[in-house]
């Protein structure tokens, strides 16, 4: 039985304890790593040093989990299934400290044993001590070399970069062979915190004067360190956190030539792209509509739009995009940012690579096709649809678009990269494909389609 929180907190390193509790929530409650970490940091009021340590320990352990599990099994001489799940999480945390964070071996072992005694019980401390001593006897590269002996090249790459084999195979299909390892390694980097100013409400200069740095690609972007909430523009809803890749795919839709008329974000939650589109549409005197089938996500969209005046020009509706309540041919521009595997955001969702299975991509395709077909039905002749995913996988991107476009005679695939000439090396034929290792963004995909 785990000791109660009030008991186990005394004398326990607060950063390590937070990382352990967060990891247990991810594995026992299927929690999202970024959300549980943010909540625990708010609740526990760690000082800046402990908070930074806890963040790297937890996020890095989630990210590298699959490779650490192979190392733990080798050091323990048995499978993980034979170990108590909480003990496995303690060993994962110890492995990350020793193999990735440069915590001295003695401190890693001692602190993890103390954490085990405080959280699980003294009966497991001997096992924790013995296994971690074996793990700390080698570096990560030495473990990978030893355990990779006899594996094929793709399995060795999966072990070295801490990705499931199926993701390595997918990247190998999408990228030149010389880029694959760099692309996988980029998923293990910590992304910058990037802000987007809301068009008409703020400009980048305001953020730069507050200490931010200009973005690399988007004219609406700036990067910061520390808490975004310290900036008045963020607190007031005139700017928000948003990866530059998400800004760029929305920007492409805003730049394409199209007739006047209302704009639609078909799958709007949580609202970052809606906040940009609403500003651009409003600047042209057009109505903006955002729809999402989940009430709580629709509420997030309303929050993202809170900086704009309540003048009836921006509407948020709870609506299923596959069965929309508006008439066909209503909108001039439609964004269909469809549900996907999220493989393009592995930097900021460290646990997702170990949760997703390739079958999940197959399962999403019917919904993705239905939403794209609905988006085309919602747009007027002469209007444009942007099909967007936060995934580079061909089954969720080009394959979906090609199937829908080829089934119709009233649509035309546009040259999306041509709308963003300032972004280099992003063309995948007429599609836009961003990559963390090339662009420093999430691996966003976009295809623009005009209806005739």
DSSP 91: H
How large is the angle between the packed helices 153-161 and 140-148, nearest 10 degrees?
160
What is the C-alpha separation between 328 and 346, in angstroms, rounded?
36
Measure CA 433 to chain center: 16
- Chain centroid offset of residue 338 CA: 14
Alpha-carbon span 190 to 57, nearest angstrom: 12
C-alpha 36/C-alpha 351 separation (Å) is: 12
* C-alpha–C-alpha distance, residues 174 and 146, integer Å: 29
Residues 6+ apart with CB under 8 A from 7: none
Q: What angle do CA 88, 92, 95 make, to 5 degrees?
A: 135
Pairing of strands 221-224, 193-197: antiparallel
CA-CA-CA-CA torsion sign (343, 345, 347, 348): negative
User: Which residues share a beta bridge with 193?
Assistant: 224
Which residues are the active-site residues? 390
Distances (CA, A) of 363 to 31, 320, 358, 359: 21, 18, 9, 6
Q: At what angle do helices 85-99 and 105-119 cross, to 10 degrees?
A: 160
* Cα–Cα dist 207/228, whole Å: 10
Strands (E), 307-424: 314-318, 331-337, 379-389, 411-413
CA nearest 112: which of 19, 25, 4, 47? 19
Of 153, 38, 55, 130, the C-alpha closest to 96 is 55
Rg value, the chain, Cα? 24
What is d(CA 371, CA 409) in angstroms, rounded to the nearest whole number? 18
């Amino acid at each position: 039985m785990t000791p109660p929180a009030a008991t186990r907190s005394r004398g326990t390193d607060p950063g390590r304890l937070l990382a352990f509790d967060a990891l247990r929530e991810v594995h026992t409650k299927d929690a999202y790593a970024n959300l549980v970490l943010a909540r625990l940091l708010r609740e526990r009021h760690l000082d800046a040093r402990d908070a930074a340590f806890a963040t790297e320990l937890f996020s890095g352990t989630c990210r590298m989990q699959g490779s650490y599990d192979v190392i733990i099994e080798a050091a323990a001489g048995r499978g993980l299934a034979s170990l108590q799940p909480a003990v496995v999480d303690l060993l994962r945390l110890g492995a990350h400290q020793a193999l990735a964070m440069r915590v001295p071996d003695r401190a890693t072992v001692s602190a993890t044993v103390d954490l085990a005694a405080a959280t699980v019980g003294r009966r497991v401390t001997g096992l924790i001590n013995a296994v971690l001593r074996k793990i700390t006897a080698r570096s990560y590269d030495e473990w990978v070399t030893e355990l990779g002996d006899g594996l094929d090249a793709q399995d060795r790459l999966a072990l070295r970069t801490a990705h499931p084999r199926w993701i390595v195979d997918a990247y190998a299909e999408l990228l030149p062979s010389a880029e694959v390892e760099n692309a996988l390694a980029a998923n293990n980097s910590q992304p910058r915190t990037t802000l987007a100013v809301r068009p008409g409400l703020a400009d980048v200069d305001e953020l730069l004067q507050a200490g931010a740095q200009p973005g690399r690609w988007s004219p609406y972007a700036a990067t910061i360190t520390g808490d975004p909430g310290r900036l008045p523009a963020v607190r007031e809803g005139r700017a928000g956190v948003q990866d530059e890749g998400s800004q760029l795919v929305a920007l492409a839709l805003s730049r394409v030539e199209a007739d006047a008329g209302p704009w639609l974000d078909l799958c709007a939650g949580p609202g970052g792209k809606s906040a940009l589109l609403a500003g651009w549409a409003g600047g042209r005197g057009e109505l903006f509509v955002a729809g999402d089938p989940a009430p709580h996500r629709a509420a997030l969209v309303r929050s993202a739009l809170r900086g704009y005046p309540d003048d009836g020009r921006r509407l948020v509706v709870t609506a299923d995009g596959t069965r929309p309540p508006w008439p066909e041919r209503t909108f001039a521009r439609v964004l269909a940012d469809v549900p996907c595997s999220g493989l393009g955001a592995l930097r900021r969702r460290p646990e997702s690579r170990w949760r997703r299975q390739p079958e999940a991509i197959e399962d999403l395709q019917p919904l993705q096709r239905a939403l794209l077909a609905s988006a085309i039905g919602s747009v007027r002749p002469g209007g444009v649809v942007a099909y967007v995913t936060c995934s580079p996988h061909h089954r969720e991107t080009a394959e979906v678009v090609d199937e829908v476009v080829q089934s119709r005679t009233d649509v035309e695939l546009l040259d999306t990269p041509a709308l963003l000439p300032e972004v280099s090396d992003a063309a995948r034929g007429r599609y836009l494909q961003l990559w963390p290792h090339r662009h420093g963004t999430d691996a966003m995909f976009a295809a623009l389609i005009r209806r005739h």
